[in-house]
Structure formats: structure tokens, C-alpha cells
Amino acid sequence: MSTLAETTGLNHGFTMIDTLAPADFLSHTAWRSDGIVSQSPALLDALERVKRVAPTDATVLITGETGTGKELIARAIHRRSRRANRPMVTVNLAAIPEPLVASELFGHEHGAFTGAIQRRIGRFEAADRGTLFLDEIGQLSIDMQVSLLRAVQEGEFERLGASETRRADVRIITATNRDLETQVEEGGFRADLFYRLSVFPLHLPPLRERREDIPVLAEYFLCRLQKVLGRRFDGVESQSMDRLKAFDWPGNIRQLENVIEHAAILCDEPVLHVPAALITRARGPVAMSAGSRLAQTLHHSEQQLIEQALADASGRVAGCMGAASRLGVPASTLESKIRRYRIDKLRFRPRQN
């Protein structure tokens, strides 16, 4: 998610970023494909697997720690597939209350349950002939796993409150940061569904196992922030870069991005200085308190950036002139952050006389 880059001019191969001006990408050489920035052999191997599986309709299970870019990989698979001209529908199962999961996936008829005031098309129908990306699949209840298995195997389902069986031609990609094989052994995940979803498993290594990407990513995030903050940076100072490369990054790429953004907001110099306090793992009550203050500051800064982008885009999220495009993130990611911060998009739209 966090390693988005411009994809203009890219087809289905890898492109070398060694011709960009220093102001655009600074000093490092990296491979870029489908918006993924990397020079790590571990990740490049995963990207090669993406190229192989994308043209097929095989189900893909993407595993990896939180913040490693699983949704971005899912989008790369979709863009390289035969379904690229059809929608990719994303569902974060962890963000949906358990009673509403069936309605979200399969839809419902008017009056199917309390609050169902009108018919709703589910995500399976919305993704017909396209791709359905189910994030946090490991959090799906056993009961819903039964329904999902049928939909995956047969392409059949019923809307809640309806008896008519519907069909949808959907390519399924799932992702999780959990160990599903252990969940299967412990009875928390159905073995038949696991094998159906993991026809082609794809693991993303954590950032601590691809440290050669830390300078590339740090400078890329800094370049992108130049547009948001309206300032030019001439790179990251060497001492700060040494700190970044030495840290284990438990939050992976997302954590690195947040640290770079926080440091850029605080820094008044042309070369970015990253305070050691921003990249020290919290320990003990005092450190946890400092960590909480850091998280609060980061969230406040992110909320301000989102609100400014919405104001510049007159409340629009998607589209080439929308807030998501201005911030360089997927519209689905921005919508999730808008809900998390309880931002009212409507207040940024022009008033009608």
C-alpha cells in the first residue's frame, strides 16, 4: 500500500529507476513495477511470482506482516490479469462487524433484517468478471467460511432474504497476517477453504529482511511529501539513514512512511533529519507514554493532510483530481482513513445556492 509510485509508461515488465532527476527520486537505483518500489532480491522474487500467476484465474493467498504491502500486490495481480478492465473490489473483513459480513459479501433484499431498508448488491456481484480482494481473511468466522467456500468453489450465493441463487464469475485474492495453517490445525479455519484459497501462496518478507529497500523507500516517501508539504528536500542525512537502516521496523513499510512524514513535518533544513526518538522501540511505562504521544501526533498530522487534500479536491476522493490522487494513495485506503478519523467529506463540497 505504502509503496505507490507513478506507473506511467510501465507495461508488464520491470523498469529501472536510474534516469530520474535527483529531485524526483534522489540518489538510489531500484526496480519499479505496478507502483512497487524495491531493489531487494527477496521482494523481486515475489514480483516474479506475481508476473506468473497474474494471467491465470488461480486464487492467490498473500501472507505477510501488517504493513508489508499486501493490498498493493493484490492490485498488481489484478492489473496484470485478463480482468484488468473490470473492477477490483476490496473488502477488509476485520473492519466489518460479524453480523454484517454476509450482507457485505452477498448482499440483501429489502426487509431481510432490521435496518435493511433497501436492496443491496453484495461485493461478489459487484466484482463479477473482475477481482475480489478479501483482506484479513483469517478473521472470518467458521460459519461465514462455509458460505465463502461455496461461493469460491461454485461461484454461487444467495442474497440475504432471497431464495434465488445467483452466480458471479470472480477471481479471488485473499490476504492475512496470521498463520492460517496453524489456525487450520487448531480448528479455527476450515482446511477445505484454506486449500481452495491458497492454490498459489505468495509471501511478502518484512522490511527487516529487505534492508536494502529502506533507503529507496525512505527517499521515495520524502519525494512524495515534497508535493504535499510544498517544500523541497535534498535527501536524508547520513546519520539519520544509518538509524533507519539499523531499526527492525515492526510496523514495516507503513511505519517507515509515518516516521518519514513526521520527521519531514518537524524538519526545517533542506536535508532531512530523523530524530532518534521517532525510531526507538517503546519499552516500559515511560516509553509507552512517549509512544502514545508520538502516535497521537502522527494521527493528527495525517488527519490534517487528508482534510487539506479533501478541501483542495472539493470533497472528492476518487478520480484524477480527487484527494486520493493528490495524496498518492488508493481511494479505498483514503476512504478507510476518512472513516477512522470520522472526517465529514460533505463539508468540503461547494455549497449549492
The three-state DSSP-derived secondary structure of 17-74 is CCCCCHHHHCCCCCEEECCEEECCHHHHHHHHHHHHHCCCCCCEEEECCCCCCHHHHH
Phi-psi region of 185 (alpha: psi -120 to 50; beta: other; left: phi over 0): alpha
**Amino acid at the residue 348:** F
14: cell is 520491470
pTM: 0.70
pLDDT at 216: 92
- For 46-91, write each residue's pLDDT tens digit: 989 999 999 999 999 999 999 999 999 999 999 999 999 999 999 9
Asked if pLDDT for residue 15 goes beyond 70, the answer is: no
pLDDT at 168: 93
Instruction: State how far the Cα of 323 lies from the Cα of 335, in Å rounded to an integer.
Output: 10
- Minimal CA–CA distance to 247: which of 280, 272, 284, 205? 280
149-173: buried (b, 16+ CB within 10 Å) or exposed (e) per residue? bebbeeeebbbbeeeeebebebbbb
Average pLDDT over residues 161-175: 92
Asked if pLDDT for residue 293 goes beyond 80, the answer is: no
Residue 193 or 320, more confident: 193
pLDDT at 352: 58
Asked if pLDDT for residue 14 goes beyond 60, the answer is: no
- For 246-285, write each residue's pLDDT tens digit: 999 999 999 999 999 999 999 889 999 999 889 865 333 3
Asked if pLDDT for residue 287 goes beyond 80, the answer is: no
